[in-house]
Amino acid sequence: MNTTKSYKRYSRQITLDEIGLKGQQKLQNANVLIIGAGGLGCPILLYLAGAGVGHIGIIDHDLIDETNLQRQILYHISDIGKHKADIAAERLRLFNPELHIDSYAFKFTSENSATLIKQYDLIIDGSDNFPTRYLVNDTCVELNKPLIFGSILQFEGQISVFNFNGGPDYRNIYPEPPRPEDTGNCGESGVIGTLPGIIGSLMANEAIKIICGFGEILSGKLLVFNALNNEMQCFKFAGPTIKQPSKIKETDLPTNTKEISLMELQQWKSQKKEFTLIDVRETYEFEENNIGGINIPLYELNNRLDEVSLYKRIVFCCSLGKRSKIAIQLLKNKANTELYSVILK
């Protein structure tokens, strides 16, 4: 930010002692990925682009529908049928041509999550379904990326910041995904159009604070807003309950364990070596893509040991090897056999 034009554009926030020229430079240098360009994503994108966040990524595979226009303020009626990510990127480039905007008009999956997230310094989750939320959280934990989370339904919204400076993550509040029949979404339950604007603005505010390094961050806190009575509550929660995956090193593995490649595992299968393959990813990840074996999500492992022979060689697998290493840590004093870790990617 060297031009007079840029200074004029951001002068109102540069005047703030908490931001100043140094903070504005931090915003310009920031790389932020927004997952979901819907109700929450639209205000988040507008305010971060307005603040001058230099590199913004947008991922959303959905097409714009007429039902979106009640609350998704980036889109026009002429955009119906077009990809949200691409149209959002076009609007942001018009709004602030100084920025670098990347759009990803495809689905966020376990196969591309790590590749996308590792490119950015800060992740913001504006998705509207539990499988994506758990996948975003777990990938951020594995790659040690801070995550801003928000959700909306009917008249209530929630915001928190996860995996920030070693703080707790989404699983410290919600350890297991709810059953599909116990969940709702905006399509089924409805949402007042102003709510995503309120919650999305608060999420953008957390992003600016994190990037510039000022204020109190919602790490270890869940902010809940009720639009019916304007009540706002902040709940504290503890974590992490187990060692962060991102901090587990190769030297942390016990001596009776080893990492093997997918090729080695295939050789074991062809040689008919005896072993138990346990995929410790989430059920939805396993169903989406797997190499066989049994699926026991990491958080269920201790309660399902009766399903596993602790005297036969065990191979744990996950996307990046982090969760499988935690599984080894959990079983190293319980298993009377060799423990192995294999990476699916």
100-104/156-162 β-pairing? unpaired
Per residue of the chain (345 residues), give pLDDT as tens: 554 457 788 988 998 999 999 999 999 999 999 999 999 999 999 999 999 999 999 999 999 999 999 999 999 999 999 999 999 999 999 999 999 999 999 999 989 999 999 999 999 999 988 899 999 999 999 999 999 999 998 899 999 999 999 899 999 888 877 655 445 555 556 899 999 999 999 999 999 999 999 999 999 999 999 999 999 989 888 765 433 333 333 333 444 457 888 888 888 888 888 899 999 888 888 888 898 999 998 878 877 888 888 888 899 988 877 778 778 877 877 777 888 888 776
pLDDT (0 to 100) of residue 67: 93
In single-letter form, the type of residue at position 123 comes to I
pLDDT (0 to 100) of residue 335: 77
The pTM (predicted TM-score) of the whole model is: 0.70
Residue 294 backbone dihedrals phi, psi, to 5 degrees: -110, 150
Cβ atoms of residues 159 and 199 within 8 Å = yes
Which helix (DSSP H) or strand (DSSP E) does residue 138 occupy?
Answer: helix 130-143
Where do the domains of the chain lie, and which CATH numbers do they carry?
4-236 (3.40.50.720), 248-343 (3.40.250.10)
**217 C-beta neighbours (distance < 10 Å), count:** 18
In single-letter form, the type of residue at position 302 comes to N
DSSP string, 257-298: EEEE-HHHHHHHHHTT---EEEE-S-HHHHHHS--SSEE--G
pLDDT (0 to 100) of residue 185: 58
DSSP state of 312: S
Cβ atoms of residues 172 and 239 within 8 Å = yes
pLDDT (0 to 100) of residue 343: 79
To the nearest 10 degrees (0 to 180), the angle between helices 20-29 and 194-212 is 110
Report d(CA 54, CA 24) in Å as an integer.
10
User: Which of 247, 264, 259, 249 lies closest to 318, judged by CA?
Assistant: 259
